[in-house]
């Protein structure tokens, strides 16, 4: 049985009324919560630390404004453990969630998005552009298409068909992308002081 000192209050007024979440959505939410905690602990990218179950539930309730039954969270955690994404450890009255190798890759995707979003919110743009470009062989089209979608989901701007850019330094994040996305081994990273037709990119990143 999984228990936590952080219980969901039935009278929580801040919770938005939404349709019930499926197990796939709950799984994604839990992985995102783990990524958020690891990012705040500055444990990503790098060896990950265990995350308190209570902190995961707190993120779900307070940050994402979602109220999910304890039983559904328990089942989702056990399913992730069975798939060898995580392993669960109980120490005295606390429950800790550890990532296994499969979990490292899955959570890294959420951590990347959080790290890049943080840079967009906290950093002042210095006028430089940080570009990634790639030439994935046509025989690996599915990997190329996945890489494009992945970069767009992370918040990169599509400058040309296989050229994406970001307004803040992101070399470490690009290195992590290369580790977790198969087609990314063809990706290159460059820094540009100026690019042509940058007005649309500036609007996209709200720099104009």
Q: Using an 8 Å Cβ cutoff, are 114 and 35 in contact?
A: yes
Residue of 49, 56, 92 whose CA lies nearest to 74? 56
Residue of 119, 102, 121, 126 whose CA lies nearest to 174? 119
Which amino acids are annotated as binding site for Mg(2+), given as ranges? 135
pLDDT single digits (tens) 92-136: 888 899 888 778 777 888 888 888 988 888 889 999 999 999 999
Which amino acids are annotated as binding site, given as ranges? 135
**12 three-class SS:** coil
pLDDT single digits (tens) 13-23: 444 445 677 87
Q: Is the pLDDT of residue 8 over 70?
A: no
**Assigned fold of 1-120:** Arc Repressor Mutant, subunit A (1.10.10)
- Using 50, 70 and 90 to split pLDDT, how confident is the model at 1? very low
For the chain, residues classed under CATH 1.10.10.10 are 1-120
Count, residues in the chain: 208
CATH 3.30.70.240 fits 123-204, yes or no: yes
78 versus 10: the higher-pLDDT residue is 78
Q: Specify burial of residue 139 (Cβ count, 10 A radius: 0-12, 13-18, 19+).
A: exposed
For the chain, residues classed under CATH 3.30.70.240 are 123-204
């Amino acid at each position: 049985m999984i228990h936590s000192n952080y219980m969901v209050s039935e009278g929580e007024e801040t919770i938005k009324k939404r349709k019930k979440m499926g197990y796939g959505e709950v799984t994604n939410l839990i992985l995102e919560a783990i990524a958020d905690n690891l990012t705040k602990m500055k444990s990503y990218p790098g060896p990950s630390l265990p995350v308190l179950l209570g902190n995961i539930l707190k993120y779900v309730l307070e940050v994402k404004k979602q109220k999910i039954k304890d039983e559904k969270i328990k089942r989702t955690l056990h399913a992730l453990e069975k798939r060898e994404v995580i392993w669960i450890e109980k120490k005295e009255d606390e429950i800790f969630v550890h990532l296994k190798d499969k979990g490292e890759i899955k959570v890294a995707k959420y951590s990347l998005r959080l790290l890049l979003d943080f840079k967009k919110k906290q950093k002042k743009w210095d006028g430089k552009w940080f570009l990634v470009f790639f030439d994935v062989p046509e025989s690996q089209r599915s990997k190329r298409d996945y890489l494009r979608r992945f970069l767009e989901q992370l918040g990169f701007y599509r400058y040309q068909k296989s050229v994406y850019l970001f307004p803040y330094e992101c070399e470490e994040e690009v290195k992590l992308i290369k580790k977790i996305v198969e087609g990314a081994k063809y990706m290159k990273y460059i820094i540009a002081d100026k690019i042509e037709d940058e007005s649309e990119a500036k609007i996209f990143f709200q720099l104009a």
